[in-house]
Structure 1
């Protein structure tokens, strides 16, 4: 068992609670993104035992983060929104040099790669102008129609979780399901958690193989898309600038902390 994956899972779980911050991006920062896709795909094959040691501790960490920290994350977003958002902007921007170096963009990116990068970034950045609001009222009762909607929302969110630069929570936010998901986690509403979780699980099974195939067949184009998605995500979660000096200073500190953490992980995993 790779028990250090519990810590990695905690970090990924925290990021999955934040609209605009991708768990896939955090997996890249932690240096386990390729192994994560391989393990999820391989777990549903005859060689599934090979991947238990990697996935089980990681899943435990993610689950603990979702269950134990959902209220804390909601508190930070409600009471300290700007410093929290700047911290995650630091995390996002800090991974860009690592990805550029990993793709060797200077030698491998052509004009079409840069165009695709800009288009991907613009598409995600445009989501900043949507009217989605994470403070909406959560669902408190289930019907067949709402259950189906929650299941497919979890499916779409899981695809976003695996792709660096797209936040699963932000997809839930766009679909109007984010308040329901956070409320279900913080109150341990088992039926809601089970339905959304089932959608997430099915999405992992399907999308992990597809994303892995794309990375294997079109690696530089996928890196261009991923870098564009990450850059665009920073516009989505950018909270503006504070009106008072104290909040602005704290936000600068949290931004620098995010950059530093990413730099440390990227340096550790650069090989």
Structure 2
């Protein structure tokens, strides 16, 4: 019987760190670290007869992700609250920088036809419509309020986020941002770390959504990437392009904010572009 590989703890930490940030996918990092196939197989296997083997593989990765989220949520919450526009420009750069990787991986010049471009456009429209339905609320935070409508929204956002986490090139936090709950979830995590238990209802709801998303999508994503690879990538690329609209915070209002925002935009683009290049080489 195989033992738990606690050496994968740092890989989980790396995945958790990137999944906190919209634009850099934990799936991409898993691909870069050489555990993507095992990760997808284990997530799918956790709901099958391979439960124990899958759990032993996922446990250190999950612990590493939880540690990363607990340690870094306060930093991200502070940046979103005190430096909203430059932080959002950093996210725009991260998301834009992963597009070349997705285009290269999909071999779009040779594989895309009318069907693929139709799916790509559909992906863009879906994200833009979701953003408009959220009334442009892209980075709400500093609130732990919850109602029946908000609870449903948090659950759906969590389910979509976990589905996105399984895909290379699209991060879970990206979907939270699209649904307008990213700032709220980051704030709830940072408050929970500070022992404010009023954050529990939000975190439990999002967590249940995440588990439901894993249960619903792990086998489907494995199937789509195996048998409809390029159609799946076309839809992902559409999601990512559409998310640029979802994330864009508006133009800076001072010269200093302009300068900082341009720097963070370039920095974000450079980080994700480089990660994508390493992964695809």
| TM-score normalised by the chain length of structure 1 | 0.80
Paired residues for 1:105-144 under 5 Å: 105-129=108-132, 130-131=134-135, 133=137, 134-135=140-141, 137-139=143-145
Q: Partner of 2:16 in structure 1?
A: 10
Pairwise CA distance, 1:204: 0.9
Q: Partner of 1:70 in structure 2?
A: 73
Count of aligned positions: 260
Q: Partner of 1:55 in structure 2?
A: 58
Q: Partner of 1:18 in structure 2?
A: none
Structure 1 pair 83–57 and aligned structure 2 pair: CA distance change class (3 A): farther
Structure 1 pair 72–7 and aligned structure 2 pair: CA distance change class (3 A): same
Distance 1:81 1:3 in 2: 31
Pairwise CA distance, 1:72: 2.3
Distance 2:250 2:190 in 1: 28
Task: Kindly indicate whether the alpha-carbon contact (under 8 Å) linking 1:151 and 1:196 is maintained by their aligned counterparts in 2.
Answer: yes
Structure 1 pair 105–165 and aligned structure 2 pair: CA distance change class (3 A): farther
Q: Partner of 1:96 in structure 2?
A: 99
Distance 2:87 2:143 in 1: 23
Structure 1 pair 151–264 and aligned structure 2 pair: CA distance change class (3 A): closer
Instruction: State the secondary structure of the residue aligned to 2:280.
Output: coil
Paired residues for 1:82-93 under 5 Å: 82-93=85-96
Instruction: State the secondary structure of the residue aligned to 2:20.
Output: helix
Residue ranges of structure 1 left out of the alignment (5+ in a row): 16-20
Distance 1:132 1:263 in 2: 27
Structure 1 pair 216–76 and aligned structure 2 pair: CA distance change class (3 A): same
Pairwise CA distance, 1:171: 5.8
Distance 2:171 2:71 in 1: 25
Match of 1:40 among 39, 43, 56: 43
Distance 2:271 2:30 in 1: 10
Distance 2:179 2:62 in 1: 20
Root mean square deviation of aligned Cα = 3.1
Distance 2:70 2:171 in 1: 24
Please identify, of 66-75 and 205-214, the stretch whose mean Cα deviation from structure 2 is larger. Answer: 66-75
Match of 1:158 among 157, 162, 166: 162
| TM-score normalised by the chain length of structure 2 | 0.78
Q: Partner of 2:244 in structure 1?
A: 234
Deviations 1:46-92 (A, max 9, x none): 33454456523332232123323333222211111111111111111
Instruction: State the secondary structure of the residue aligned to 1:204.
Output: helix
Q: Partner of 2:190 in structure 1?
A: 186
Q: Partner of 2:271 in structure 1?
A: 261
Task: Kindly indicate whether the alpha-carbon contact (under 8 Å) linking 1:157 and 1:172 is maintained by their aligned counterparts in 2.
Answer: no
Task: Kindly indicate whether the alpha-carbon contact (under 8 Å) linking 1:22 and 1:161 is maintained by their aligned counterparts in 2.
Answer: no
Distance 2:128 2:152 in 1: 29
Distance 1:136 1:124 in 2: 24
Structure 1 pair 48–12 and aligned structure 2 pair: CA distance change class (3 A): farther
